[in-house]
Amino acid sequence: MSVGSLLYGNNIGIMRGERVLFRDVSLSLSPGEAIVLRGANGAGKTTLLRILAGLTQAETGEVSKQGAHHWIAHREGLKPHETPADHLRLWARAWGQTVEVRQLLADMGLSKPADVPAKYLSAGQRRRTALARLRLEDRPIWLLDEPFTALDADGKSLLQAMISNHRTQGGGVIAAIHGEAGFEFDTQVEI
Ligand SMILES: Nc1ncnc2c1ncn2[C@@H]1O[C@H](COP(=O)(O)OP(=O)(O)OP(=O)(O)O)[C@@H](O)[C@H]1O
């Protein structure tokens, strides 16, 4: 792991069924850096992010991290009956954080649907709820799977500002992205 690196992945490879999904992927995330993962549908971007998050075991290679990470999956991880307020209270409690949840919901543009079960939320509201987890606890490494999906212009600006602020404070971001990145990044990794 290079000195000062937040996350280091070396020669990562994985098989899916009989085929090699990808091999020899190496990356290093420095404080303040943003890395964008690109590739066709099915290329393995989500799989690589899951490996970096420690949720999927790679066949080859190694991952080391300097500090905790946040993982925001493409599927937001909200239960059908859970409201945005419930979701954030639950995670705040799990992480031992005392957070003014109503204020956080307001900051994320979620005051109106704060008490609406997830099964009735719009896709953008679900995504904003999941992204609000990034603000529950300071963690240096953000692993984001298509984070701009379903966000309107205001939501995109909000996330851009969150990423920019995180990087200014020395955090790093690795995001799988389709199309326009939506934010300034330093490095692009093709899967
Ligand atoms: N647990 C699994 N078992 C078997 N195959 C899997 C598993 N998880 C993912 N795959 C396969 O691995 C491939 C890569 O999937 P992945 O979701 O990582 O791609 P992606 O680049 O993120 O795609 P997209 O751009 O469509 O989101 C796909 O063909 C998928 O079906």
Q: What is the pLDDT of residues 104-159, one digit of tens each?
A: 999 999 999 999 999 999 999 999 999 999 999 999 999 999 999 999 999 999 99
| Cα–Cα distance, 121 to 118 (Å, whole number) | 5
Q: Best substitution site from 15, 21, 25 to test ligand 1's pocket, by max atoms within 8 Å of Cβ?
A: 21
- Which tens digits make up the pLDDT trace of 39-89? 999 999 999 999 999 999 999 999 999 999 999 998 878 999 999 999 999
| Cα–Cα distance, 107 to 123 (Å, whole number) | 18
CB 44 within 8 A of CB 14: yes
CA 54-182-123 angle, to 5 degrees, is 70
Whole-prediction pTM: 0.95
Q: Report the CATH fold assignment for 1-68+139-191.
A: Rossmann fold (3.40.50)
Helices (DSSP H) in the chain: which residue ranges?
45-53, 84-94, 101-107, 123-132, 153-168
What is the whole-number distance in angstroms between the Cα of residue 45 and the centre of ligand 1?
8
CB count within 10 Å of CB 64 equals 12
Interface confidence, given as ipTM, is: 0.95
Ligand 1, atom nearest to 49 Cα = 18
C-alpha separations of 31 from 6, 18, 38, 88, 119 in Å: 6, 37, 21, 27, 37
Name the one residue in this structure whose structure tokens are 């997830």.
Answer: 118
